[in-house]
Amino acid sequence: MRFLTSAMRLLQGLTVLFLTYHVDAQVSSAKLPKMYFSDSSRLGRPFAKDPSVIKFKGSYWMYYSIPAPETDAQKGPVGIDAIGTTGWGIGIAKSADLIHWDKVGELPPVQEIERHGVAAPGARVIDGKVHLFYQTYGFGKEDAICHAVSSDGVHFDRDPSNPVYHPTRMAWSVGRAIDAEVYPHGKELWLLFATRDPEMKIQQIGMAAAPLKSDYSRSTWHDVSTAGPVMKPELAWEQRCTEAPSILHHGKLLYLFYAGAYNNAPQQIGVATSVDGKVWKRLSDEPLLANGKPGTWNSSESGHPGVFTDDNGRSYLFFQANNDNGHTWFLSMLEIRWQGSRPYLVEP
């Protein structure tokens, strides 16, 4: 009987060992997406967030956030660039096919308002130039949106009035503005942004506008969502955060892709529709793009969307993801296809 018990325990142990190996093998060989981009220049490990993609002068360009370098007390600052950048920054990558990307530059801090860093870019080509809207970093309630313009996609001239926008007449907002998204509509350039409630707990999406033919300096913007946010968290999976708005047009509707929940909570991506850009209706109570199952490359989150429509009319959803609770971050992309007026996602 003792022999039989020992044999059974040995068999159970071998079974556990086999199952553990089998699960580990599945995790290590998990399928990665076709686009799997990151930037190790600041930390020595992959870390890139907040993608925004445009087409400019025949190539695809991606602007994204890179983190502040880590500091070793003995070795000194790690990953600091030539001009001494120590805060968050914006990386610039270029591609011929939307899948394979090469880093071609960074947006260095120039103005005093940028001294703690910049992040969360939103790029748009207007009148043959790249207009980049991005947030200041490190000012808490006072973080705001800045603007810069480029003729080559890499070198940018700052607006001397930066920061060009933050909410000023909205009782529901603390006055902060991050996660800029600009969208030309009629005679206006819309600016959608994320902001906190007065207690700095709930992340909501607001809206401003400027004349499309203006220079987008500080005096050109006016608040639109004065009575309340254009979107706030309402669904269980959104928890206390809706942010990272990104707009595309399809058929007779505008589509707002947005992130729900704070990073790694997990953050996931939802979609809503509108006819006027001011009132949005969710297409579903569930996210369009959820975080992955345990063991997959995006198990911690699939978040911060950035949508892009190519010259041929095909649209793509770029997003950030990781599987280690934010120790690393990668950028990826799925093609947006349509069943009538409803979007769905596939590998390109």
Paired with 249 in beta bridges are 254
> Rounded to an integer, what distance in angstroms lies between the CA atom of residue 17 and that of residue 171?
59
Which residue type occupies 132?
Answer: L
Model confidence at 85, pLDDT cuts 50, 70, 90, reads low
pLDDT value, residue 2: 41
> Rounded to an integer, what distance in angstroms lies between the CA atom of residue 47 and that of residue 120?
14
Going by C-alpha positions, the residue among 262, 264, 231 that lies closest to residue 245 is 231
Superfamily (CATH) of domain 31-346: Glycosyl hydrolase domain; family 43 (2.115.10.20)
Going by C-alpha positions, the residue among 238, 242, 235 that lies closest to residue 256 is 242
pLDDT value, residue 7: 41
Residue 54 has pLDDT above 60, yes or no: yes
Backbone φ and ψ of 226, nearest 5°: -70, -35
Asked whether 85 and 115 are in contact (CB, 8 A), the reply is: no
Please work out, in degrees rounded to the nearest 5, the angle formed at the alpha carbon of residue 194 by the alpha carbons of 258 and 257: 15
Dihedral (Cα; 83, 144, 129, 109), 10-degree rounding: 0
Backbone φ and ψ of 141, nearest 5°: -60, -20
SS3 151: coil
> Rounded to an integer, what distance in angstroms lies between the CA atom of residue 192 and that of residue 195?
10
pLDDT digits (tens, 9 = 90+) for 228-250: 999 999 999 999 999 999 999 99
Q: What is the pTM of this model?
A: 0.89
pLDDT digits (tens, 9 = 90+) for 260-286: 999 999 999 999 999 999 999 999 999
pLDDT value, residue 169: 85
Mean pLDDT of 162-177: 96
Beta strand 145-150 with 129-136 is: antiparallel
Mean pLDDT of 110-134: 96
- Cβ contacts of 107 within 8 Å, gap of 6 or more: 63, 89, 90, 92, 118, 121, 132, 134, 148, 156
pLDDT digits (tens, 9 = 90+) for 282-328: 999 999 999 999 999 999 999 999 999 999 999 999 999 999 999 99
Backbone φ and ψ of 237, nearest 5°: -75, -20
- Cβ contacts of 236 within 8 Å, gap of 6 or more: none
Instruction: Report the chain's mean pLDDT, rounded to a whole number.
Output: 90
> Rounded to an integer, what distance in angstroms lies between the CA atom of residue 124 and that of residue 149?
10
> Rounded to an integer, what distance in angstroms lies between the CA atom of residue 70 and that of residue 205?
31
Residue 25 has pLDDT above 80, yes or no: no
Mean pLDDT of 115-132: 97
Q: How many residues does the chain have?
A: 348
pLDDT value, residue 44: 96
